Amino acid sequence: MSLRVKFNIVMLAALLAGLLLAAAFLDRLTQASARSGVLSEAALMMGEVNANVHYTDTQVAPLLFKQMKVQFLPQSIPFYAAQQTLNTVTKSFPGYTFRQPTINPTNPSDRPVGWETGIINAMLAQPKLDSLVTERPTPAGRILSYSQPIRVGSTCLACHSTPAAAPASMIDVYGPDNGFGWKLGSIVGAEVVSVPEQVSLARARHNLYGIMGALALVFLVMLLLLNLMLHFFIISPVRRVSRLADEVSLGNMDVPELDGSGKDEIGSLARSFNRMRRSLAAALKLLEE
């Protein structure tokens, strides 16, 4: 097996080992970065929810207060306004959802499903939590959910304390049996923004393949350059020494001397070979005399 083949085998083994280690490290890094990006998207959506709730509560609801006595207007309800706004946004982004599951909701469609019940129970168990991040598998891929508790404030009690205190127009729409008995400061549900991880993870995987391809290309270019250096600075000079050594071993003392001007190991080998050839030539000359 030639020196070049041995060198390339070792270098290719190093390439594979390096690529495997880099892939393992970069995979974790890109996955973490993708998850961080998904979480940022969810937090941004939650910020939009809170902005809508605040705007509706402070600027829209007061304008519709008198009309609510005659006709129930859901546009004056902060959470309804936030839900409608986010529904408009999520129509353009499949898999993105916003829900406001409540333990005892006025609207039955706001009752929590199984995984939402788990989020609400976790918040009830830790009432000081300001937010909660959860993940769940779905047929379309993993979904990350960013949730915040719905705490009963003084404005909530105007509609959710007792049926007698609630607007008559709301009772006409939803009846007196649901959404009442809320206590000030208690947690009655959660705002849940859900964002699919599939797109970000696919993008991270694509970036990983690109990085690994670039690393492999850089290594192959380096391997090519090293092969050229190996050929011109090691293999070619050693072959020249070997060829002249064969000539001398066959009795040809007229071979030219090697260039021993180099300061490296090859130059040292050339100088040693030249001394050996001169010593051998001198010894043969003495024997002939």
> Could you tell me the pTM of the whole model?
0.66
Residue 151 CA from chain centroid, whole number: 33
Q: Is residue 270 within 8 Å of 241, Cβ to Cβ?
A: yes
What is the rounded average pLDDT of the residues 151-164?
81
Domains annotated for the chain, with CATH where assigned, are: 3-11+206-288 (1.10.8.500), 34-197 (no CATH)
Q: Is residue 273 within 8 Å of 245, Cβ to Cβ?
A: yes
Q: Which of 195, 119, 108, 115 is nearest to 150 (CA)?
A: 119
172-181, long-range: CB < 8 A, 24+ apart: 172/72, 173/72, 174/106, 174/107, 178/104, 178/105, 178/106, 178/107, 178/108, 179/102, 179/104, 179/105, 179/106, 179/107, 180/104, 181/104
Beta bridge partners of 146: 133, 193
pLDDT at 245 over 80: no
pLDDT at 289 over 70: no
Q: Is residue 99 within 8 Å of 116, Cβ to Cβ?
A: yes
pLDDT tens sequence across 69-82: 777 777 778 777 88
Q: Which of 93, 141, 138 is nearest to 114 (CA)?
A: 138
pLDDT in the model for residue 119 = 92
User: Over pLDDT 90: what percentage of the chain?
Assistant: 4
H-assigned helices in the chain: 3-55, 65-70, 78-90, 114-125, 157-160, 168-174, 198-230, 236-249, 265-288
pLDDT tens sequence across 164-198: 877 787 887 788 888 888 888 889 889 998 888 88
Sheet with 132-138: list strands edge to edge: 97-99, 187-196, 141-151, 132-138
Q: Which two tokens stand for residue 142?
A: 């993993």
What is the rounded average pLDDT of the residues 118-137?
89
**What is the DSSP secondary structure assignment for residue 41, as one 8-state letter?**
H
Q: Which of 87, 89, 115 is nearest to 101 (CA)?
A: 115
Q: pLDDT class for 204, splitting at 50, 70, 90?
A: confident
Higher pLDDT, 128 or 79: 128
User: CA–CA separation, 246 vs 244, rounded Å?
Assistant: 5
